[in-house]
């Protein structure tokens, strides 16, 4: 009888993670003898947790808040993870390798929705980890990127890194109508009653709007629907970054539709 291969996601807090439901659905669809679990691990014990997982024969790991930057000290990052300064996927082999699939997850979600990236004007709200991954990936894919953030200096630093433009939130009303793609890469919208950072009256039917929030339909996406704009929610970014992780671990093509179904079903139950 084959041993069950264990995979996991590490983070703190971790109870809210949708990754176990999503990845276990994928493993089942692929017919793999594998199980994916969530583990509560903080920064001080991260290196020990990674080495312990390797010693126990884990198939691979995902990392979430607040571990992605810390992991750079415990793995050999690939060029993308090194450039982003963050790791969200770990693979075990001759050495412990680190990857970042967040940016490609966002790009694949947009491409699946048939949103043009190359030569488009992309406006990203936020300058945190998600914004950094998305900005880097879309700039590499040929987009003209503008970063807007409450802290204008952070926006300018991130924009300078990807060859784009940065400014404070006071420029938002001017920039929104000029953008082909508007992206909310902040946590605003996660809770019922959160305001939209964008005046919905500025949105147009010719635009695309992407929100990284995946636990609910945000006010930004509702406004975009009313404007007739194309909308993409955070579920698909979650799915595609997870799909890429499975492909890194197993070499098999991940069943993205099965994974999306598992996430949306889990969200309905919460």
Q: What is the pLDDT of residues 28-56, one digit of tens each?
A: 999 999 999 999 999 999 999 999 999 99
Band the pLDDT of 218: cuts 50, 70, 90.
Answer: very high
Domain 5-100+236-269 part of CATH 3.40.50.970? no
Q: How far apart are CA 10 and CA 88, in angstroms?
A: 9
Q: What is the mean pLDDT of residues 169-189?
A: 95
Sign of CA dihedral 152, 191, 113, 21: positive
Name the percent of the chain lying above pLDDT 90. Answer: 90
- Same fold: 5-100+236-269 with 104-232: yes
Q: What is the pLDDT of residues 227-253, one digit of tens each?
A: 999 999 999 999 999 999 999 999 999
Q: Which two tokens stand for residue 235?
A: 């579920």
Which of the two residues, 246 and 1, has the higher pLDDT score?
Answer: 246
Please determine, for residue 191, whether its predicted confidence score (pLDDT) is greater than 90. Answer: no
Residue 218 class from Cβ within 10 Å (0-12 exposed, 13-18 middle, 19+ buried)? buried
CATH class assigned to 104-232: alpha beta
Q: How far apart are CA 145 and CA 136, in angstroms?
A: 9
Please determine, for residue 1, whether its predicted confidence score (pLDDT) is greater than 70. Answer: no
Active site members: 68
- Amino acid 129: pLDDT: 86
> pTM higher than 0.75 for the full model?
yes
| CB burial readout 99-129, b (16+ within 10 A) else e | bbbbbbbbbbbbeeeebebeebebbbbbbeb
Domain boundaries, the chain: 5-100+236-269, 104-232
Q: What is the mean pLDDT of residues 12-40?
A: 96
Please determine, for residue 20, whether its predicted confidence score (pLDDT) is greater than 70. Answer: yes
């Amino acid at each position: 009888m084959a041993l069950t291969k264990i995979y996991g996601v590490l983070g703190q807090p971790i109870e809210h993670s949708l990754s176990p439901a999503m990845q276990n659905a994928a493993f089942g669809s692929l017919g793999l003898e594998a199980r994916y679990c969530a583990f509560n691990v903080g920064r001080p014990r991260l290196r020990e947790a990674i080495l312990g997982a390797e010693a126990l024969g884990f198939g691979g790991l995902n990392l979430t808040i607040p571990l992605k930057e810390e992991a750079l000290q415990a793995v050999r990052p690939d060029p993308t993870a090194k450039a982003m300064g963050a790791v969200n996927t770990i693979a075990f082999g001759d050495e412990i390798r680190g990857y970042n699939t967040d940016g490609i997850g966002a790009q694949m979600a947009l491409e699946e929705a048939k949103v043009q990236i190359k030569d488009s004007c992309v406006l990203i709200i936020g300058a945190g980890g998600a914004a950094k991954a998305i900005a880097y990936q879309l700039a590499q894919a040929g987009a003209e990127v503008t970063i807007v953030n409450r802290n204008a200096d952070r926006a300018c630093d991130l924009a300078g890194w990807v060859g784009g433009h940065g400014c404070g939130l006071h420029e938002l009303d001017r920039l929104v109508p000029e953008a082909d793609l508007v992206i909310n890469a902040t946590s605003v919208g996660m809770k019922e009653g959160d305001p939209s950072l964008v005046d919905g009256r500025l949105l147009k039917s010719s635009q695309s709007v992407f929100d990284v929030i995946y636990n609910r339909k945000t006010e930004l996406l509702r406004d975009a629907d009313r404007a007739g704009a194309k909308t993409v929610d955070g579920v698909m970014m979650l799915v595609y970054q997870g799909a890429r992780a499975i492909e890194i671990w197993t070499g098999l093509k991940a069943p993205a539709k099965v994974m999306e179904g598992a996430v949306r079903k889990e969200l309905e139950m919460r």
